[in-house]
Amino acid sequence: MNEYEINLKEVSLAYGNTEVVHRVSFGIKRGVFAGLVGPNGSGKSTIIKSLSRILEPVYGQISLRGQNIKNMKQKDLARLLAVVPQNAVVPSLFSAFEIVLMGRNPHKGFLSYEDEKDMSIVRDAMEKTDTWRFRDRRIHELSGGEIQSVVIARALTQDTDIIVLDEPTAALDVARQIEILNFLRGHCKERNKTIIAAIHDLNLAAHYCDRMILLKKGDVFMNDAPSKVITNENLSEVYGSGSYVYPHPLSGLPAVLPMVEGIFHSQEVIANLSDCAPSGLWLFWYLFRRALPRAIDQRLSAFIYAYFRAESP
Partner 1 sequence: MNNNLNQDNTDSCAPEKKSGRFRGQIISLLILAPVLLAVMVAATGLGSVNVPFGHTLGIISSRLLFFLDFGNPSWTEPQAVIIFDVRLPRVVMAALCGAALAMAGAVYQGLFRNPLADPYLIGVSQGGAFGAVLAIFLPVNWNAFSVWMIPAFAFSGALLVTFLVYRISRTGNVLPATTLILAGIALGAFFSAGVSYIISISGTKIGSMVLWLMGSFNNAMWNEVRVTFPIVLAGLFVLILFGRSLNVMQLGDDQAKQLGLNVERDKKILLAVSTVIVAAAVSFVGIIGFVGIIIPHAVRLLWGPDYRFLLPLSVLLGAIFMVATDIAARVLFAPAEIPVGVITAACGAPFFLYLLRKKIKSIF
Interface residues toward partner 1, by CB under 8 A: 49, 52-54, 73-79, 82-83, 85, 88-94, 97-99, 102-103, 105-106, 108, 110-111, 113, 116, 119, 123, 127, 132-133, 136, 138, 140, 158
Residue 53 or residue 216: which is nearer to partner 1 going by CB? 53
Q: Which DSSP string do the residues of 27-44 spell out, in sequence order?
A: EEETT-EEEEE-STTSSH
117 neighbors 166 (Cβ within 8 angstroms): no
Q: In the bound complex, what is the minimum distance in angstroms from residue 82's beta carbon to partner 1?
A: 7
Question: What is the SS3 assignment for 211?
Answer: strand
- Sheet of 4-15, strands arranged across: 18-29, 4-15, 59-64, 67-68
Question: What is the SS3 assignment for 239?
Answer: coil
Residue 29 or residue 123: which is nearer to partner 1 going by CB? 123
Residue 161 or residue 219: which is nearer to partner 1 going by CB? 161
Name residue 287's amino acid. Answer: L
Residue 83 or residue 212: which is nearer to partner 1 going by CB? 83
Q: In the bound complex, what is the minimum distance in angstroms from residue 105's beta carbon to partner 1?
A: 5
Q: In the bound complex, what is the minimum distance in angstroms from residue 49's beta carbon to partner 1?
A: 8
CB atoms within 10 A of CB 196: 25
Q: In the bound complex, what is the minimum distance in angstroms from residue 182's beta carbon to partner 1?
A: 20
The rounded distance, in Å, linking the Cα atoms of 263 and 164 is 38
107 neighbors 79 (Cβ within 8 angstroms): yes
Q: In the bound complex, what is the minimum distance in angstroms from residue 164's beta carbon to partner 1?
A: 9
Residue 37 sits at φ, ψ, to 5 deg, of -125, 160
Residue 159 or residue 210: which is nearer to partner 1 going by CB? 159
Residue 116 or residue 261: which is nearer to partner 1 going by CB? 116
Q: In the bound complex, what is the minimum distance in angstroms from residue 46's beta carbon to partner 1?
A: 13
